[in-house]
Structure 1
Amino acid sequence: MHSHTATVSVRRARTRLASHRPTMGVRRSYTVTIRAAETIAPAERRPEHRLPMSNLDLLLPPMDVGVFFCYEKPMRSLEAMVAVLSVSLAQALSTYYPFGGEVVANSLGEPEVLCNGRGVDFAAAYADVELRELALGDPDDSVEGKLMPKKKAGVFCVQATGLKCGGLVLACKFDHRVADAYSANMFLVFWSDLATFGHGTRLPSFCRTLLSPRLPLRIHASIDRLFVPVSSLPPPPIRPPLPADLFVNRIYYITNADIVSLQSSTRGRTKVEAFTAYLWRALAKAAEAEGERWCRMGAVVDGRTRLSAAMGNYFGNVLSIPFGSMEVAELRGMGLGEVAERVRGWLRPATTEDHFRALVDWVEAHRPEPAVARIYMGEAEGGLACVVSSGRAFPVQEVEFGWGKPAFGSYHFPWGGTSGYVMPMPSARGNGDWIVYAHLRKSVVAVLEAEQPPAFRPLTPDYYLTDIN
């Protein structure tokens, strides 16, 4: 165990993108003190072994995903809460043991999980700031590098930060190659159930044969439109380098009434299809202002329910990313309902068992060469691009460790790519509202925040706190 202090100074001269962004009571500089740091090993050790990545895991590049929860009035000391979290985490890692391992390369150079009981780096910290003073809507300022742990090794890491008001922020970061959001959600609920009730019920499955390729392989040409081997990528066009601050990260909320209104404007399309259409039109407006000709929108599809009932507790990545591409001029001339029909057109073919089986076969045919989703190759393809990743199964209200439900929770994924990334998820209020994490170009953020009537509403403490006085 060790302790050190880090002073966090936030850039005060940051350019604001919309004059309506509230700043009253927000502190842009505060001190975070790491009071204790240790590595939490699984309570029960398993024989060391290697867990292969599935073919769908191999589509993910090395990148980390963050998630955090804010507890308003735990009524416990930081030390007491850390003790609960530490003991229950060790127990949870005995079952979800890949999170306590390391990613290593096999003989072909492909990643796999070394399940060696290394454990999870866990930091207990204190920040001299109150929950109501954190600009959570601007996670670049309030979360990244401060409340979010810095993952140095291993698959998973945790930081529990006590606040001046007595609140707590619990933040985690995990390697996306090992788990998708669905898998992380399973773990978080299992961990919190152990802390609260002494047992967890979501037992994971690591059975990679559920995603075995077919013999003989059946390759669909449709997969070549969505994914590409790295060696086949065209060279990026010669153009000025993108500005380092081209993208920003934001967290918004959308009211249930606005979600219903969007859906009713799209002639019976689903809420996700309507939301994706709304975002695609905003992307096109920003693209037009930047002089871009093309605009691409993609969506993450979870294949578990498409494959079999046995996939319900599968731990790993079961994702595909279909997308559509349109000329900006055509897209700008379409109504929301028409755009939603286009979304449905490219989304639905990727929601079948055959699509995911074909994707598994496609990866097998190209191994060990890595591949990547084409929608993420924005700089090579040109134009603006964005991906919607539905986090509507985010179990924010279930992640309680014995001191009450979170006041707020969100994923945090400032992944640094040249395509935007937007993730809607349920609000902790449980009233049908959505929290929307967005990694977007500044030009797209400006469009969304200027829309009247607004749909993407700035997140402020009076939205998620019961007492802001």
Structure 2
Amino acid sequence: MDSAVQVLESSFVSPSEPTPMKGLWLSSLDLEQATRGHVPTFYLYSSNDVATADFFNVARLKESMAKALVAFYPLAGRLGIDNDGRMEINWNGEGALFVVARANLTVDDIKELKPSPELRKLVVPCVEPASVVLAVQVTFLKCGGVALGTAIHHVSVDALSAFHFIQTWSAFAKHGNGAVVELPCHDRTLLCPRSPPTVHPDALLTFCPKVIFSDPLGPVVVKVFTISRDQVASLKHHCSGTSTFCAVSALLWQCACIARRLPLDSKARLTFPANVRRKVRPPLPDRYFGNALFKLGVTGAVRDIATEALGSVASRIKGAVDRMDDELVRSAIDYFETAEIDTTRPLRGTLPQTHLQIVSWLGMPAYDADFGWGKPQVMSRAESIRGGVVFIMNNEGKGTADDGGVRVLVCLEAANMMELERLLYAKL
């Protein structure tokens, strides 16, 4: 289907004002994300939402991006290697890749597509050269709508920082010089290792230092589930009022253990990236720009996870969240600093069936992307190909019937997906 896309223009957008020209040191939490490459996401806009003749005017988008890149100048740089052989971002101002395309598709056509390599080819630019940190593609659809695809290298930012940039860019596009901008903090030495690096003996019991990926035993498929606001409230009630993340994660973990028909005496593992910004002492600035996360882990016997009350499973997850403090964060930073991290080999493969990884975008400003023509109808990853990886996010697109619910993007073994769906809705 990618043949339906015609590239009209490809250029680079540089900051509109001079920016520092040097190398940006990357923390070990940044380097831990290097093999994940460029994260493909997209925003979908309907021209029916606004009456204007300059819907997604390219010149306006480029001008506002150039303004945003003054504050977010690492995104205009290039990936490189410093004199010590460590990966860095060169602040050279060469610019972000900006692609304009046209597709013989409608907004509804794209809504029907699941995150996949095919969808990624349609709405997200091919990043060339690979050292480019940020690439965007504005695809004009035959119905008058627009798909805005982004590819930001994970070594540069986590999701919260990426959304901060999109917020700022869209604010400049909508309000011009009158935009209210919260400046990012680029001081990544705030997450530098201790001297000497020290890993607390108990730390490895809570954070997940290494995940083994392997070739899948069979095909994997992607499915998107919606959990309504009322279902979320009921789920949280059964989990003793715990957070939405803990309640939904408990449900998914329990259902996955059963659907995968794992041996009852085997060990099941759940991992999830956790935000460290408020956990270190002193806390990081609210607008710290970079990767400020690492994976926490929870392990239990399959028979326990599959048969316990959902509230008990949620309590296991909450326990890991509650154990994250400054010492655990510093231990994780020190561990990754001394570990051999290969930042050059792309991450490939799938998780073992005993392992489920849940990435949460709950509470993040994913839909705060009004460029002057209304908020997006859909915001999502464009591709998900790793079996055992789940993304959960608020269901808040423009026109969404059940604002306040949760959308769950699951990539799982094809042989187990139908049973997972059955169990998931049976327990809601």
Provide the secondary structure at the position in 1 that maps to 2:361. coil
Tell whether 2:273 aligns with 1:300: yes
Shift of the 214–122 alpha-carbon distance from structure 1 to 2, 3 Å rule, reads same
2:394 counterpart (425, 431, 436): 425
Provide the secondary structure at the position in 1 that maps to 2:44. strand
Which region of structure 1 is more displaced relative to structure 2, 400-409 or 204-213? 204-213
Structure 1 residues not aligned, in runs of 5+ = 1-6, 10-30, 457-469
1:395 counterpart (365, 371, 379): 365
Tell whether 2:216 aligns with 1:242: yes
CA contact under 8 A between 2:186 and 2:289: conserved in structure 1? yes
Which string of whole-angstrom CA distances, capped at 9 and with x for unpartnered residues, describes residues 190-223 of structure 1? 0001111123412100112321333454421233
1:439 counterpart (411, 420, 426): 411
CA contact under 8 A between 2:21 and 2:93: conserved in structure 1? yes
Paired position in structure 1 for 2:165: 187
Tell whether 2:91 aligns with 1:120: no
How far the C-alpha of 1:41 sits from its partner, in A, is 1.6
Provide the secondary structure at the position in 2 that maps to 1:261. helix
Which amino acid in structure 2 is aligned with residue 385 of structure 1?
Answer: H
How far the C-alpha of 1:131 sits from its partner, in A, is 0.9
Which amino acid in structure 1 is aligned with residue 153 of structure 2?
Answer: D
How far the C-alpha of 1:55 sits from its partner, in A, is 2.3
Provide the secondary structure at the position in 1 that maps to 2:152. strand
How far the C-alpha of 1:135 sits from its partner, in A, is 4.0
Tell whether 2:183 aligns with 1:203: yes
Paired position in structure 2 for 1:341: 315
Inter-partner Cα distance in structure 1 for 2:362 and 2:152: 19
Tell whether 2:223 aligns with 1:223: no
1:213 counterpart (193, 210, 219): 193
Paired position in structure 1 for 2:341: 370
Provide the secondary structure at the position in 1 that maps to 2:19. coil
How far the C-alpha of 1:169 sits from its partner, in A, is 0.9
Which region of structure 1 is more displaced relative to structure 2, 447-456 or 128-137? 447-456
Paired position in structure 2 for 1:272: 245
How far the C-alpha of 1:400 sits from its partner, in A, is 0.5
Paired position in structure 2 for 1:178: 156
Paired position in structure 2 for 1:18: none
For 1:36-47, list aligned pairs within 5 A: 36-47=9-20
Which amino acid in structure 2 is aligned with residue 65 of structure 1?
Answer: V
Which amino acid in structure 2 is aligned with residue 337 of structure 1?
Answer: G
Structure 2 residues not aligned, in runs of 5+ = none
Shift of the 401–127 alpha-carbon distance from structure 1 to 2, 3 Å rule, reads same
Shift of the 268–137 alpha-carbon distance from structure 1 to 2, 3 Å rule, reads farther
How far the C-alpha of 1:297 sits from its partner, in A, is 0.9
Tell whether 2:106 aligns with 1:130: yes
CA contact under 8 A between 1:378 and 1:384: conserved in structure 2? no
Inter-partner Cα distance in structure 1 for 2:327 and 2:348: 25
Paired position in structure 2 for 1:55: 28
What is the number of equivalent residue pairs in this alignment? 413
How far the C-alpha of 1:330 sits from its partner, in A, is 2.7
How far the C-alpha of 1:53 sits from its partner, in A, is 0.2
Which string of whole-angstrom CA distances, capped at 9 and with x for unpartnered residues, describes residues 234-257 of structure 1? xx99xxx534x6323333322111
Inter-partner Cα distance in structure 1 for 2:290 and 2:194: 19
Please, what is the CA RMSD of the aligned residues? 2.9
Identity %: 26
CA contact under 8 A between 1:155 and 1:175: conserved in structure 2? yes
CA contact under 8 A between 1:75 and 1:166: conserved in structure 2? no
How far the C-alpha of 1:282 sits from its partner, in A, is 1.5
Which region of structure 1 is more displaced relative to structure 2, 213-222 or 117-126? 213-222
Which amino acid in structure 2 is aligned with residue 271 of structure 1?
Answer: T
CA contact under 8 A between 2:363 and 2:394: conserved in structure 1? yes
CA contact under 8 A between 1:322 and 1:346: conserved in structure 2? yes
Inter-partner Cα distance in structure 2 for 1:455 and 1:191: 41
How high is the TM-score relative to the length of structure 1? 0.80
Which amino acid in structure 1 is aligned with residue 392 of structure 2?
Answer: M
Paired position in structure 2 for 1:465: none
Provide the secondary structure at the position in 1 that maps to 2:270. strand
Which string of whole-angstrom CA distances, capped at 9 and with x for unpartnered residues, describes residues 372-411 of structure 1? 9xxx99979x542121121123323421111111112123
Which amino acid in structure 1 is aligned with residue 7 of structure 2?
Answer: I
Which string of whole-angstrom CA distances, capped at 9 and with x for unpartnered residues, describes residues 298-351 of structure 1? 12110112224542110000102111122323322222112112222333212x
Shift of the 397–422 alpha-carbon distance from structure 1 to 2, 3 Å rule, reads closer
Inter-partner Cα distance in structure 2 for 1:82 and 1:323: 44
Paired position in structure 1 for 2:41: 67
Which amino acid in structure 1 is aligned with residue 422 of structure 2?
Answer: A
Paired position in structure 1 for 2:2: 8
Inter-partner Cα distance in structure 2 for 1:391 and 1:107: 36
Paired position in structure 1 for 2:290: 316
